[in-house]
Amino acid sequence: MAVQALKRIDEFRVEIPDTYVPGMKVPGMIYLDAALGAGLEEKAIRQVANVAMLPGIVRVSLAMPDIHMGYGFAIGGVAAFGMEDGVISPGGVGYDINCGVRLLRSNLNAETLGPKLRELLAVLYRDIPSGVGSKGKLRLEPGELEKVMSEGARWAVKKGMGSLTDLERTESGGAMEGADPSLVSLRARERGRSQIGSLGSGNHFIEIQKVAEIYDEQAARKLGFFKGQVTVMIHTGSRGFGHQVCTDFLEVMERAIKKYGISLPDRELACAPVNSKEARDYLGAMRSAANYAWANRHAIMHWTREAFMKMMGMGPVDLGMELVYDVAHNVAKIEEHVMNGRKMKLAVHRKGATRAFPPGHPDLPAIYQETGQPVLVPGDMGRASFVLLGTQKAMEETWGSTCHGAGRMLSRHEAMRRARGRSIDKELEARGIIVMSAGRHTLAEEMPEAYKDISNVVDVVHGAGLSRKVVKLEPMGVVKG
């Protein structure tokens, strides 16, 4: 089916009619402007349409402007399902469960940090394991992994890493309730035991940034930002632990679709009814993996703070390196939303999409009740990242969701081909960005032109009212997996 079959609703939205393919229960909606629409993959469109065929889907199958083809669901996909007739699908969460981002602000000015930047990056690269198969510095005692799965970032705080204030500024308080470690396989445990406190590979990173532009002075002040300020963004997830949990339950769901007689347009959408044992078991294991990811990012944040204090010769008060927020990208949550004028619980899947709750939402901490939820949108290592705020319109249109990043434009294979013979690290350094990486392959796969222009993506969600821009962050130095 051609892209031309889509119907443009306005400057920032295109509709996939419910007649796009037979069997769609609801229409699809993709948030993108004309420029991003020119590169839209037909396979990604079809994935949005396929999700619209799942049992119990409510109102619309959504995709954010960073959409690209994924496993089952398109990356950037958002869908909500009724609790009585809907389903839970691991493909709507993805392999890297709770891949997410946390942002630290500081009292430092970029000019002050400049002379020590390269040495600081070397310390971060040395002290925080990265790369394929990397193992963390922490070795979990027997029984400790259970605590990580149950307590998430709270476990890290109990171990002396960070504070209770950090937990308040983390989505779900750093731990999803309802985690059930007993449902996690031995293989997942084996992979997770040695990887806590490690960055991993691919698009995961630690990035030292500076506040380059402020769009909303009042909101920026409330969030603690000032022009030229040093910030640190950490992007990673549940590593091989979450990957194995997803792998294990895709097999469970393959059996479930036969058991419950569910007809699917794509077996990658394997699922089970929300109230089935299979769905409940997956959610228990998925929450365990999500908690693992929060503990992982929390440990990395702790060592990042230590590296800054050591290199700058500053104590924690003078450094002022505080957590702004931590957001999850790949999770399914049972949430309360308004449908046809009444509140109801829905199973919301966000895959490569960020929660964007508005001011006054009960799930937000007191510090963000007035502003709305901080939305953290990382770019590629050569272009900007953004901080936005959640809006009421997002609650009304997208189940309180917005974009999660730039979104790939080139496959990893194509990026490698185009990078052949080039030194991506030297190209970035010529632009004033220092990069340290575990391998040249990663830099090639993750080079800036492999991604959409993050500024364009963010302009779409801002223009559509799904989240509003507060500050722009430019990279100074990056540690890549």
**Amino acid 410: pLDDT:** 84
Mean pLDDT of 118-138: 81
Query: How wide is the angle at C-alpha 17 spanned by C-alphas 13 and 19, nearest 5°?
Result: 170
Tell me what the pLDDT averaged over the chain comes to: 94
Instruction: Compare 381 and 388 and report the one with higher pLDDT.
Output: 388
Closest CA to 249 of 289, 214, 199: 289
pLDDT digits (tens, 9 = 90+) for 2-56: 566 899 999 999 999 999 999 999 999 999 999 999 889 999 999 999 999 999 9
Find how far residue 11's CA is from the centre of its chain: 26
**Amino acid 133: pLDDT:** 62
Instruction: Compare 440 and 190 and report the one with higher pLDDT.
Output: 190
pLDDT digits (tens, 9 = 90+) for 247-262: 999 999 999 999 999 9
Mean pLDDT of 424-444: 85
Class level of CATH domain 3-83+97-480: alpha beta
pLDDT digits (tens, 9 = 90+) for 43-71: 999 999 999 999 999 999 999 999 999 99
pLDDT digits (tens, 9 = 90+) for 159-182: 999 999 999 999 999 999 999 999
**Amino acid 149: pLDDT:** 98
**Amino acid 307: pLDDT:** 95
Measure the CA–CA gap between 453 and 377, rounded to whole angstroms. Answer: 12
**Model confidence band, residue 455 (pLDDT cutoffs 50, 70, 90):** very high
pLDDT digits (tens, 9 = 90+) for 205-247: 999 999 999 999 999 999 999 999 999 999 999 999 999 999 9
| Three-state secondary-structure class, residue 456 | helix
**Amino acid 132: pLDDT:** 62
**Model confidence band, residue 442 (pLDDT cutoffs 50, 70, 90):** confident
What is the end-to-end Cα distance of the chain in Å, rounded?
38
Ranges 67-76, 90-99, 424-433, 456-465: which has the least confidence: 424-433
Mean pLDDT of 101-105: 98
**Amino acid 92: pLDDT:** 98
Measure the CA–CA gap between 398 and 346, rounded to whole angstroms. Answer: 13
Return the structure tokens found at 421: 């013979």
User: What is the pTM assigned to this prediction?
Assistant: 0.95
CB atoms within 10 A of CB 429: 14
Helix, strand and coil content of the chain, in percent to the nearest 5, comes to 40, 25, 35
**Amino acid 134: pLDDT:** 65
**Amino acid 450: pLDDT:** 83
Phi/psi at 108 (5° precision): -80, 145
Measure the CA–CA gap between 318 and 302, rounded to whole angstroms. Answer: 16
Ranges 143-147, 232-236, 402-406, 428-432: which has the least confidence: 428-432
**Amino acid 1: pLDDT:** 46
Active site residues: 404
Q: Are strands 434-437 and 467-480 parallel, antiparallel or unpaired?
A: parallel
**Amino acid 158: pLDDT:** 96
